[in-house]
Amino acid sequence: MDTGYITDDNDRAFPYVLNRRWEVVDKLGQGGMGTVFMARDLNLPNLNDQKRACVVKQLRDDFFREEDREKALQFFFREAQVLAALNHPNIVRILDFFTEEGKSFLVMEYVQGQNLHEMVMKRQEPFSEEMVVEWAVQICDVLHYLHTHDPPVIYRDLKPSNIMIDVHDHVKLVDFGIARPFEESEDNTHVVSQGYSPPEQYWGAADPRSDVYALGCTMYFLLTGEDPAALNVASPKAVNPDISDHIDEVIQRSTQQDVWGRFQSALEMKELLTYNVHAGKKEQQSKPVLAIVAGVFVTAIFLGGLMLSAKLHDQSEMQPAPVDQYRDLEANKNLEAEKNKFLEDKRRFEKEKRELMSNFLNLGGKKEDMPQQAATTSAAKKLPTMAFPIYEQSDEAAITDPDGLN
């Protein structure tokens, strides 16, 4: 079996095999540190090509300066070490790392999709706010995983070209070349991406809030189609007026030059992002539901009030009868039955009213804004004219004892 190696100028014909397992079939691209190839895993012959697909990164070895070669090799090995220690659905998986005939190779899972920079350039227009927030929430999750890992990992190179979106709209972070475990006393390597790296990273003081800054810059790019200015991120709403005030605030806060002015964690940023999303859904869902409940509530009170008023009115019109009429036992029985029916109707009405009030509160109404119970006297019950606002769903505790509403 041919186990020859790939040269930088790609003078070998496809396919060829590396490390007796990885069949290289095509060239995907080339960058400053090496070349990326499409390959297949020969150890999985029973799977289709898509499931066997993987990516091989080959480190270049023709640097002009020895210090550049050593730095590139350091990043390459670090990427392999970091990826080997991680396990998250939004992080590309490492499959193999080896050196063959003096060349270094890194094999990773293949992500079918595009990076965000390519997607924006292809669209020639910004993405919708809803889509950007959905991706940002996923990125917050993976950053939280990295920052709370043991030891914590600072990504340090979050930008659109390092964020892949697969065919299911799932985020995948790639290129962990400059990611490294975070230590407070460590003098971090000064590697920056213009427009996406925060001020502290220029002097090697990156921490988790540095990744938060880069995420804010990435959101700015996705919503405006423009790279943010280096170290001076403006309001994205000034470029794209369709951006909501809430998301504009999130981006401006995450990109503060002072680390203490930013979100102090990716989780904190996610909470504000998802709060906005959930609040919007609650607003859309609670209004029609509360309108229906309120309508039923008012109708029930109105009809019930009419029923009770009619019964009370009928009773109030009963004139005292002559004494001899009360001697009719059947008449007394009918009167008692009518009275019992009236009292039963009254109890049923009050119960239904309490249940409706309880449901109204559970769906977001406020106790202090509920209509007051109509006054009842022995002669009549008057239904007051009432109007009350429709309240949006809130997180207030629901009243669970409807009997306590009277």
User: Phi, psi at residue 104, to the nearest 5°?
Assistant: -105, 140
Q: So what's the pLDDT on residue 189? A: 55
User: What value does the mean pLDDT take over residues 223-237?
Assistant: 90
Give the pLDDT score at 378. Answer: 36
User: Is a pLDDT exceeding 80 seen at residue 162?
Assistant: yes
**So what's the pLDDT on residue 190?**
58
Alpha helices in 196-244 (DSSP H): 199-202, 208-224
Active-site residue flag, 157: yes
DSSP-assigned letter for residue 164? E
Choose between 251 and 377: higher pLDDT: 251
Q: Which of 174, 176, 178 is nearest to 206 (CA)?
A: 178
Catalytic residue among 157, 207, 211, 248: 157
**In this structure, what are the phi and psi dihedrals at residue 385, rounded to the nearest 5 degrees?**
-70, 130
For residues 18-30, b (16+ Cβ closer than 10 Å) or e, as one string?
beebbbbeeeeee
Closest CA to 206 of 152, 149, 160, 253: 152
Looking at 1.10.3720.10, 2.30.30.60, 1.10.510.10, 3.30.70.20, the CATH number of the domain 114-264 comes to 1.10.510.10
Cα pseudo-dihedral 276, 280, 285, 288, rounded to 10 = 140
Decide which of 116 and 183 is more confident.
116
Percent of the chain with pLDDT over 70: 61
**Cα–Cα distance, 49 to 54 (Å, whole number):** 10
Residue bearing tokens 């001697």: 327
Does 3.30.200.20 match the CATH number of domain 1-110?
A: yes
User: Residue 304 — very low, low, confident or very high, per pLDDT cuts 50/70/90?
Assistant: low
Q: Which of 182, 134, 195 is nearest to 155 (CA)?
A: 182
- Where are the domain boundaries for CATH 3.30.200.20 in the chain? 1-110
Cis check for the bond before 15: say yes or no (omega within 30 of 0): yes
**pTM to 2 decimal places:** 0.64
Structural contact between residues 244 and 236, judged by C-beta atoms closer than 8 angstroms: no
For the cut 60, the answer to whether the pLDDT of residue 276 exceeds it is no
pLDDT digits (tens, 9 = 90+) for 362-371: 555 554 554 4
For the residues 140-161, what does the mean pLDDT come to?
94
CATH 1.10.510.10 residue spans of the chain: 114-264
Residue type, 285: Q
Which of the two residues, 84 and 309, has the higher pLDDT score?
A: 84
Q: What local confidence, expressed as pLDDT, does residue 355 receive?
A: 62
